[in-house]
Structure 1
Amino acid sequence: MTSPLALLPTRDEAVFSLKCFGSATLALYLAYAMGLPRPFWAMMTAYIVAQPWSGAVRSRAFYRLCGTFAGSAATIFLIPRLSHSPELTVLAMAGWVGLCLYVSLLDRTPRSYLFMLAGYTAALVGFPSVSDPFTVFDVGLARVEEISLGIVCAALVHSLVLPRGIAPAVMDRLDAIIRDAGTWITDTLAARAPADRDKARRTFASDLTQLRVMSMHVPYDTGNIRWTSRALHRMQDSLAALTPVVSAVEDRLAALRADGTPLPAPVAALLADIETWVAQGTHADPERAIALRARLRQQMPAVDSRSAWRDLLLTSLLARLHNLVDGYADSLRLRRRIQAGLAGLPTRHTRRGPGANQGLHRDHGLALLSGMAAVIAIVACCVFWIGTAWTNGATAATMAAIFSSFFAAQDNPTPSIMGFLRYTLYSVPLSALYLLGILPALHSFEMLALALFPTLFVLGVLIARPQHFGKAMPLLFGVLGSLALQDTNTSDLVSYLDITMAQVAGVGLAALVASLIRTVSADWAARRLQGANWRELSTLAAAADAPTGHGYALRMLDRVGLLLPRLAFTVRPDDALRDLRIGREIVTLQRARRQLPMTRAALAPVLATLARHFGDRSSARSLARHPRLLPDIDRALAAVGASTGSIPGRLRAAVALVGIRRGLYPDAPAYRHGQGPESAALETTP
Structure 2
Amino acid sequence: METATVASPSAFRRALIEWWQSEGVLWVFVFKALLSVFVALWLAYRLELPQPSTVIATVFIVLQRQSGDVLAKSFYRIIGTMVGLTVTVTLIALFNQERVLFLLFLSVWLGFCVAGSARFRDFRGYACVLAGYTAVMIGVPATLQPDNAFMNALWRVIEIVVGILCAGLVSGLILPLTSSSNMRATQYNRFRDFIGFAMDGLNGKLDLTQVEQINARFAALAVGLENLRSASAFEDPRIRLRQGRLARLNNEFMVLSTRFHALHRLLQRLQDDNEEDVLEALQPCLDEAVLILEPLRGHLLVDAEAAQQAERLDSSKQELMQRIRLARQQLAIKLPDEAQSLDFDTAAELLFRFADDLHGYLLTQASLISTHHEREQWKDNFTPRSNGLAAVISGMRCALLVLLISSFWIATAWSSGSTAVLTVGLVSGLISMTSRPGPFATQILIGAFGSGAVGFFLYFWVYPVIDGFAILFCVLGPVLAFGAFLLVRPVTAGYGVGWLVWFCILSLPVDLTQYDPSHFLNEWIASLIAIGAAAVAASFILPPNRPWLWRGLEQDLRMRLVFAVTAKLKGLVAGFESSTRDLLNQAYIQAAGHPDMQRHLMHWMFAVLEVGHAVIELRQEQAALPREPWYAKSMEWRACVRIMEQALVDLFMQVDEDNRQRALIAVEQAIEAVRNTPEPRPPQFDTSPLRRVLSHLHFIRTSLLDPHSPLAKTSSVVIESASLATAT
Supply the AA of the counterpart residue of 1:273. E
Q: Give the C-alpha shift of residue 245 in structure 1.
A: 0.9
User: C-alpha distance in 1, partners of 2:713/2:560?
Assistant: 23
Deviates more, 1:564-573 or 1:133-142: 564-573
CA distance in 1, matches of 2:561, 2:451: 51
Amino acid at match of 2:665: P
Change (3 A) 1:473 1:223: farther
2:41 counterpart of 1:28: yes
The Cα of 1:485 is off from its aligned counterpart by: 9.6
Find the residue that maps to 1:246 and give its secondary structure: helix
User: Is 1:415 the counterpart of 2:429 in the alignment?
Assistant: no
Distance in 2 (CA, whole Å) between partners of 1:413 and 1:628 is 43
2:46 is aligned with 1:46? no
Which deviates the most, 409-418 or 373-382?
409-418
SS at 1:359 equivalent: coil
| Residues in 1 aligned to 2:568 and 2:705: alpha-carbon distance in whole angstroms | 25
* Matched residue SS, 2:596: coil
Letter in 2 for 1:581: E
How far apart are residue 412 of structure 1 and its match? 4.1
The DSSP-based 3-state class of the residue aligned with 1:120 is helix
Show structure 1 runs of 5+ residues with no match.
Answer: 669-681
Change (3 A) 1:206 1:270: same
Indicate which of 161, 179, 203 corresponds to 2:217.
203
Residue 351 (1) aligns with residue 376 (2): yes
Is residue 2:596 matched to residue 1:569? yes
**Is residue 655 from structure 1 mapped to residue 695 from structure 2 by the alignment?**
yes
Which of 620, 624, 629 is equivalent to 2:663?
629
State which of 336, 342, 364 in structure 2 corresponds to 1:334: 364
Cα distance between partner residues in 2 of 1:49 and 1:544: 39
* Higher mean C-alpha displacement, 376-385 vs 46-55: 46-55
Displacement of 1:307 after TM fit? 7.2
Provide, for residues 540-584 of structure 1, a one-character-per-residue CA deviation record: whole Å limited to 9, x for no partner: 324576764421121112222333332463534123212111101
Larger displacement relative to structure 2 (284-293 or 635-644): 284-293
> Is 1:92 aligned to 2:119, yes or no?
no
| Partner Cα separation in structure 2 for residue 581 and residue 542 of structure 1 | 17
- Specify which of 166, 182, 204 is matched with residue 153 of structure 1: 166
1:666 to 687, 690, 706: 706
Which aligned pairs between 1:471-620 and structure 2 lie closer than 5 A?
Answer: 471-483=495-507, 489-543=513-567, 548-565=572-589, 566=591, 567=594, 569=596, 571-594=600-623, 595=625, 596-597=631-632, 600-615=635-650, 617-618=652-653, 620=654
Percent of pairs with identical residues: 23
* Aligned-residue offset at 1:648: 3.2
Could you tell me how far 1:38 is from its partner in structure 2?
Answer: 0.9
Amino acid at match of 2:584: V
Instruction: State the alpha-carbon separation in 2 of the partners of residues 247 and 154 from structure 1.
Output: 44
Q: Does 1:192 align with 2:209?
A: no
Contact map agreement 1:187 1:197 (CA 8 A) in 2: no
- 8 Å contact kept, 1:598–1:643: no
CA distance in 2, matches of 1:133, 1:466: 40
Residue 504 of structure 1 aligns to which amino acid in structure 2?
L
1:142 aligned to 2:142? no
Q: Retained in 2: the 8 A contact 1:541–1:608?
A: no
Q: 1:626 deviation in Å?
A: 4.3
CA contact (8 A) 2:633 2:639 kept: no
Residue of 271, 278, 294 corresponding to 2:286: 271
Aligned to 1:643: 677
- Partner letter of residue 370 of structure 1? S
Distance of aligned partners of 1:537 and 1:655 in 2 relative to their CA distance in 1, 3 Å threshold: same
Does the CA-based 8 Å contact 2:110-2:398 persist in structure 1? yes
**Are the equivalent residues in 1 in contact too, given 2:317–2:355 (CA < 8 A)?**
yes
Q: Which residue of 1 aligns with 2:227?
A: 213
Residues 362-407 of structure 1: CA distance to partner in whole angstroms, max 9, x if unpaired? 3221111111011000000100001111111011011111111111
* In structure 1, distance between residues paired with 2:124 and 2:380: 12
| TM-score, scaled relative to structure 2 | 0.84
Q: Which residue, out of 119, 122, 127, partners 1:109? A: 122
Evaluate the alpha carbon distance shift between residue 265 and residue 25 of structure 1 in structure 2; reply closer, same or farther with a 3 A threshold.
same
Single out whichever of 155-164 and 486-495 deviates more from structure 2.
486-495
Query: How far 1:80 sits from its partner (Å)?
Result: 2.8
Aligned to 1:679: none
Map of 1:243 onto structure 2: 257
Deviation at 1:128, TM superposition (A): 1.5
In structure 2, relative to structure 1, the CA distance for the partners of 1:223 and 1:24 (3 Å cut) is farther
| Cα distance in 2 between the residues matched to 1:545 and 1:17 | 48
Deviation string 1:465-501 (CA, Å, 9 cap, x unpaired) is 4444333332222321213598861141000000001
**Alignment CA distance shift 1:314-1:488 (3 Å):** farther
Label 1:546 to 1:608 Cα distance change in 2 as closer, same or farther (>3 A).
farther
2:352 equivalent in structure 1: 322
Confirm or deny: 8 A CA contact 1:51 1:57 kept in the other structure.
Answer: yes
Question: C-alpha displacement at 1:538, in angstroms?
Answer: 1.9
Q: Secondary structure at the match of 1:628?
A: helix
Counting only pairs closer than 5 Å after superposition, residues 61-100 of structure 1 correspond to structure 2 as 61-100=74-113
How big is the shift at 1:593? 2.9
Q: 1:409 to 1:23 in 2, by over 3 A?
A: closer
In structure 1, give the amino acid aligned to 2:254.
A
**Compared with structure 1, are the counterparts of its residues 523 and 173 closer, same or farther at alpha carbon in structure 2 (3 Å cutoff)?**
farther
Give the superposition deviation at 1:297. Answer: 3.4
Q: Distance in 1 between matches of 2:206 and 2:255?
A: 24
Deviation digits for residues 137-167 of structure 1, max 9, x if unmatched?
1211111111111011111221122322123
Q: Does 1:311 align with 2:341?
A: yes
Choose 364-373 or 488-497, whichever is displaced more.
488-497
Distance 1:529 1:162, change over 3 A: same
CA gap of 1:133–1:51, structure 2 versus 1, over 3 A, is same
Corresponding residue number in structure 1 for 2:314: 290
**Equivalents in 1 of 2:650, 2:403: separation in Å?**
38
CA contact (8 A) 1:24 1:44 kept: no
TM-score, length-scaled by structure 1: 0.89
Contact 2:52 2:510 (C-alpha < 8 Å) held by counterparts: no
2: distance between equivalents of 1:484 and 1:452? Answer: 9
Distance in 2 separating the partners of 1:230 and 1:526: 34
Q: Note closer, same or farther for the CA distance 1:528–1:352 as it changes in structure 2 (3 Å cut).
A: farther
Give the SS at the match of 1:390: coil
2-structure distance, mates of 1:155, 1:294: 52
Deviates more, 1:57-66 or 1:468-477: 468-477
SS in 2 for 1:259: coil
| Aligned twin of 2:6 | none
State the AA in 1 paired with 2:649.
F
Assess, with a 3 A threshold, how the Cα gap between structure 1 residues 485 and 411 changes in structure 2: closer, same or farther.
farther
Partner residue of 1:58? Answer: 71
Q: Is the 8 A contact 1:609 1:626 kept in 2?
A: no
Question: Distance between the aligned counterparts of 1:683 and 1:141, measured in 2?
Answer: 61
What's 1:671 paired with?
A: none
Q: How has the CA–CA distance of structure 1 residues 309 and 322 changed in structure 2, closer, same or farther, with 3 Å as cutoff? A: same
Q: Kindly state the Cα deviation for residue 600 of structure 1 after the two structures are TM-superposed.
A: 4.6
Q: Which amino acid aligns with 1:418?
A: T
SS of structure 2 residue aligned to 1:625: helix
Looking at structure 1, the residues matched to 674 and 571 of structure 2 have their Cα atoms a distance apart, in angstroms, of: 22
Q: Structure 2, unaligned stretches of length 5 or more?
A: 1-17, 626-630, 682-686, 716-728
* Aligned partners of 2:243 and 2:376 also within 8 Å: no
> Following superposition of structure 1 onto structure 2, how do residues 352-431 of structure 1 map, counting pairs within 5 Å?
352-353=377-378, 358-431=382-455
Tell me, yes or no, if the aligned pair for 2:68 and 2:234 is still in contact at 8 Å.
yes
- Please tell me the residue identity of whatever aligns with 1:664: L
